[in-house]
Structure 1
Amino acid sequence: MTLVNSAYRLKDNKETRRPFVLAAVMLAMFMGAIEATIISTAMPAIVGDLGGFSLYSWVFSSYLLMNAVTVLIYGKLSDLFGRKPIITTGIIIFLIGSLLCGIAGSMEQLIFFRFIQGLGAGAVMPLATTIVGDIYTKEERAKIQGYLSSVWGISAISGPAIGGLLVEFVSWRYVFWINIPLGLLAIAGLHFFLHENIEKKKPAIDYVGATILTISISTLMFILVEGGVHIAWSSWEAISLILISSAGIVAFILYEKRLDEPMMPFELWKSRSILVANVVSLTTGVMLIGISSFLPAFVQGVMERSATIAGFTLTAMSIGWPIASTAAGRLLLKIGYFKTSLIGGVSLIVGSIFFVTMDPADGPLWAACGSFFIGVGMGLTSTSFIVSIQSNVEWKIRGIATATNMFMRNLGNTVGAALLGGILNSRIQAYIEKNGTEGMNIDTVNLLLDESKRQELSSTVLKTLQEGLTVSLHWVYISVLIFAVISFIFIIFIPRKE
């Protein structure tokens, strides 16, 4: 068997067994990917049990923050010490966080445990993708990366369905505990079948850059979530937080450019194909979190359907995602990166239009159609970008190059959860203040997401809450459409010659 890099050929007379490594990698990716869809379906039940609707988006934001910040550090560590020990460490931390999330007794505890879960998740996705880029040839990567992208689709099929069934018949806590056997199997596969022969280098970890980035993103997330809800946009607190975040981002860019081995190698961005891939990964990350996080709340709270039906609307995304990912591997070889990505960009816009025009009377099928087109767009673009990036860099920087692209998508998820969650909270609060009855506030929406409590609401209160949630989510989906258009515009600038 001929492998791409000598680092994977032999170690102590052991040879890396690619099919088994691929299976372990896909299992690890599935574990991380299913987390995004399975918890979305469970969130209405979690809020109904623990309360704290105003903290709804923080359950996503806390996880995504640590994921986004650590992904670059893990990518750099994997280039220094090898992929295997770093991804294994990440999976172990992720499993510890999953165990703790399942025993959370309050929304605040759940948010803290999600930080731990995100700390480990930062290693899983980028390093799983990087390992495949290492052990397969350039010609093989298009097909194999299509398989990896389809993992997102498969997780979207099983995630909402499993999440809905667990919520209805067992407990929402099992949506976290289900990760544990998956993670242990992935660790075992990597331990027995992936053998590296890496020349370890002296560590040069950019802790200062990581600290600056963490402070900048955390501050930005906080004001995006709380702005217009608990902090007035015109207040000195809001202005100060915006200035701190902006100054931190500028300081991070200037500092990274001075380093020989930066956490974020901006030199990579000089390639137009990599620049476009990273920017569009950011914008599509915002879109993805906007759909997966808030659609179940609409289906359950406004359409009054079960968690299983809410899961079905997200499941439709997976039908398009794996089909598109598989097709992308072939399309890349026939029509190139530009046309493949362009088709994906059009699909993202079509899917977003479905959500913007969605009415409660349309039913779950309309929402499922929008999810399907979003899935097609994500499958085509994500596969194109990963193959393009890994084909343009050499092994010694492939880990950080792949991690940078993952970071941009995670950053999009992070900012998107905060931004769109802030829009949702502020719009609901404004609607309740204008149309609500005495004693009603944003946390009253908790009652809407618990079926038994919803049935006890008066018709007036029920109508007010449902209309408020509908209007608020409409603004969220308008924002998703705007990001879809931005994605399409950037895709136009992908070099045609590739």
Structure 2
Amino acid sequence: MLGLCFVTMLVAVDQTVVGTALPTIVAELNGFELYAWVATSYLLTSVITIPIFGRLGDFHGRKPFVIASIIVFTVASALCGIAETMLQLVLGRALQGIGGGMLIGTAFACVPDLFTDTHVRLRWQVLLTASFGIANAFGPSLGGFLTHYMGWRSVFYVNLPIGVVGLYFIWRFLPHIKQAQRGRIRLDWQGAGLIALGLGSLQVFVELVPLHGASLSMVLLGLFSVAAFAVLIYWEKRCEEPLLPPDMFRNKSLVALFFLSLFTGFVMFTLLFYLPLLLQGGFGLSPQQVGLLITPLVVFITVGSIANSRIVVRLNSPNHILYLGFGLMVLACAGMVVTQKTTSHWVVAVYMMLGGTGLGFVMPNLTVFAQETAGRALLGISTALLQSVRMIGGMFGLALVGTVVGHYHAGSVRQSIPQGDGTSWMALLEDPQVLVSQAVQNDFIIQMRDAGLQGDALIEIARTSLVSAVHSGLTLTLLTALIALAWVYRVPRISFSRTVAASDQPAPPTRGRS
């Protein structure tokens, strides 16, 4: 479990430190047109590989894939660190995504392999959630420190010692537990290819549609994605060993949990990415102040998970904890929608605590509920698909909220400053970057002074516009949280058993170095 914690931290640290260093990276490598793809390439390859390796883990045991994921991720981190162009960095990040997808698709399913008793499993599951919480808490500050004092390449090299330590513990101590199989196992490679086509085209569509609108190319890309999923459904129904077993989607409880995971990803990723923009760009807080205010959100995910492990096993109906978790997320979203520059920082911190605690109550339970419902035969693929769906929810949330924020901010700035229509400085003012970067602000103020205009006053108008725009985006997040709260009603009652049937017991572990 210590080894699994290290490798989950490997992914979590990387996701948080890279975002902090990205502006510096772009400035040095001169590739702003590929800015978004540094994150998108990682997300794309990881979303595709999660269900594939989740199923492979069901067939062949998870230890070989956890080891492979550490090696791939660590090597890819080194390649990112030595990248000389943005294209090389994007390709390195794509390789990192493959390693991250392998890891997420197998590591979480190792816990029920090791601990078949649900009550015991919930307590150990807290360690993985705590690892993510700890990494998310110090990741942004670590990224800023490394970038400032050691250069941006160090944010990738920091993964190397974590990977080596995690690899030692996994190789030495994780048992290779394999499910008993009869006959030769054949992986559904056709299904894997269709998943890659469907999710890949969907990801590209979501990333590009805000830029190109309802153009012919976007319509064709959307239709291609729908067609790929339609063919995938047709194929999986007729495949002898499907990668996505149709029986899994006939289980009402699993389907309801998948939707809740989608909604959770939407809420979590939009809060993590757009609250800093609201606080720094809209309210004018420093990065250090923003870091302090955001920290309770990620820290209380761990606090909520620890509290949850003690509470949920004592409830007659464990489903009630989901109502509580999503209810807290609704309160946090509603609070941030009405937060203004004059709102006390303590009040904002309370909203962050509520949101983090709600996520801590929801995320580990969705995983455990899905594992309890799916049974051992579908353990890996159901766990992997739950994580993949959450990332897809985050992908949709970021794209949708980002489109709303960008549209409303630009429109509000143009309406508030009609005299700037058609000028070069107006386009700069419509970009939230001028509200975040102090260097860009200083250059803008000097440019406006030379033109005989008050740059400070224009920036304040833009800040007001950005606050309204982010509030509009967070309103969508609040609506999603409300839908999720109502959706909990669709989850059939979950019950935890203290014993495991003999047919569900895992095969004896082989403790070789395989």
Q: Which residue of 2 aligns with 1:111?
A: 90
Q: Which residue of 2 aligns with 1:159?
A: 139
Q: Which residue of 2 aligns with 1:101?
A: 80
C-alpha separation between the residues in 2 aligned to 1:106 and 1:215? 27
Match of 2:245 among 265, 274, 279: 265
Change (3 A) 1:207 1:497: closer
Match of 1:225 among 207, 211, 223: 207
Match of 2:471 among 474, 478, 482: 474
Q: Which residue of 2 aligns with 1:12?
A: none
Q: Report if aligned partners of 1:91, 1:120 keep a CA contact under 8 Å in 2.
A: yes
**1:368-397 deviation line (CA, Å, top 9, x unaligned):** 433322211111111112222222344343
C-alpha separation between the residues in 2 aligned to 1:96 and 1:354? 43
C-alpha separation between the residues in 2 aligned to 1:477 and 1:176? 32
SS of 1:492's equivalent in the other structure is helix
Q: Does 1:406 align with 2:387?
A: yes
Q: Which residue of 1 aligns with 2:5?
A: 26
C-alpha separation between the residues in 2 aligned to 1:483 and 1:257? 31
Q: Structure 2: which amino acid aligns with 1:402?
A: T
Q: Which residue of 2 aligns with 1:8?
A: none
Change (3 A) 1:381 1:367: same
Deviation at 1:241, TM superposition (A): 2.3
Change (3 A) 1:357 1:74: same
C-alpha separation between the residues in 2 aligned to 1:466 and 1:172? 29
Q: Report if aligned partners of 1:283, 1:484 keep a CA contact under 8 Å in 2.
A: yes
Deviation at 1:177, TM superposition (A): 2.4
Match of 1:326 among 293, 296, 306: 306
Deviation at 1:465, TM superposition (A): 4.4
The equivalences for 1:15-164 within 5 A come to: 22-43=1-22, 45-46=24-25, 57-105=36-84, 107-138=86-117, 139-164=119-144
Q: Which residue of 1 aligns with 2:171?
A: 191
Q: Which residue of 2 aligns with 1:17?
A: none
SS of 2:318's equivalent in the other structure is helix
Match of 1:421 among 399, 402, 418: 402
C-alpha separation between the residues in 2 aligned to 1:445 and 1:106? 25
C-alpha separation between the residues in 2 aligned to 1:301 and 1:52? 23
Change (3 A) 1:320 1:258: same
C-alpha separation between the residues in 2 aligned to 1:56 and 1:473? 21
Q: Which residue of 2 aligns with 1:4?
A: none
Deviation at 1:316, TM superposition (A): 1.0
Q: Which residue of 2 aligns with 1:441?
A: 427
C-alpha separation between the residues in 2 aligned to 1:483 and 1:97? 35
Change (3 A) 1:451 1:206: farther
Q: Report if aligned partners of 1:70, 1:123 keep a CA contact under 8 Å in 2.
A: yes
Deviation at 1:326, TM superposition (A): 1.0
Q: Which residue of 2 aligns with 1:452?
A: 439
Match of 1:483 among 464, 480, 499: 480
SS of 1:456's equivalent in the other structure is helix
Change (3 A) 1:301 1:225: same
Q: Which residue of 2 aligns with 1:256?
A: 236
Moved more, 199-208 or 395-404: 199-208
- The runs of 5 or more residues in structure 1 that have no matched partner are 1-21
Deviation at 1:178, TM superposition (A): 1.8
C-alpha separation between the residues in 2 aligned to 1:150 and 1:76? 26
How many residues align? The count is 475
Deviation at 1:106, TM superposition (A): 5.3
Deviation at 1:293, TM superposition (A): 2.3
Change (3 A) 1:365 1:34: farther
Change (3 A) 1:308 1:264: farther
Change (3 A) 1:382 1:357: same
C-alpha separation between the residues in 1 aligned to 2:346 and 2:17? 19
Q: Report if aligned partners of 1:348, 1:378 keep a CA contact under 8 Å in 2.
A: yes
SS of 1:280's equivalent in the other structure is helix
Q: Structure 2: which amino acid aligns with 1:215?
A: L
Deviation at 1:319, TM superposition (A): 2.8
- The runs of 5 or more residues in structure 2 that have no matched partner are 446-454, 496-514
Match of 2:370 among 379, 384, 389: 389
Q: Does 1:463 align with 2:465?
A: no
Return the TM-score normalized by structure 2.
0.84
SS of 1:261's equivalent in the other structure is coil
Q: Which residue of 1 aligns with 2:326?
A: 345
SS of 1:358's equivalent in the other structure is coil
Deviation at 1:75, TM superposition (A): 0.8
Q: Does 1:207 align with 2:182?
A: no
Deviation at 1:140, TM superposition (A): 1.0
Deviation at 1:427, TM superposition (A): 3.8
Moved more, 194-203 or 413-422: 194-203
Return the TM-score normalized by structure 1.
0.86
* Cα root mean square deviation, aligned: 2.8
**1:259-314 deviation line (CA, Å, top 9, x unaligned):** 22222223123333322221111111122211222333333333333333332233
Q: Report if aligned partners of 2:256, 2:491 keep a CA contact under 8 Å in 1.
A: yes
Deviation at 1:483, TM superposition (A): 1.6
Change (3 A) 1:266 1:313: farther
Deviation at 1:63, TM superposition (A): 1.6
Change (3 A) 1:463 1:293: same
Change (3 A) 1:104 1:158: same
C-alpha separation between the residues in 2 aligned to 1:363 and 1:93? 45
Moved more, 486-495 or 365-374: 365-374
Change (3 A) 1:486 1:382: same
SS of 1:392's equivalent in the other structure is helix
Q: Structure 2: which amino acid aligns with 1:493?
A: R
Q: Structure 1: which amino acid aligns with 2:173?
A: F
Deviation at 1:453, TM superposition (A): 2.8
Change (3 A) 1:347 1:329: same
Deviation at 1:35, TM superposition (A): 3.0
Identity %: 27
Q: Structure 2: which amino acid aligns with 1:478?
A: T
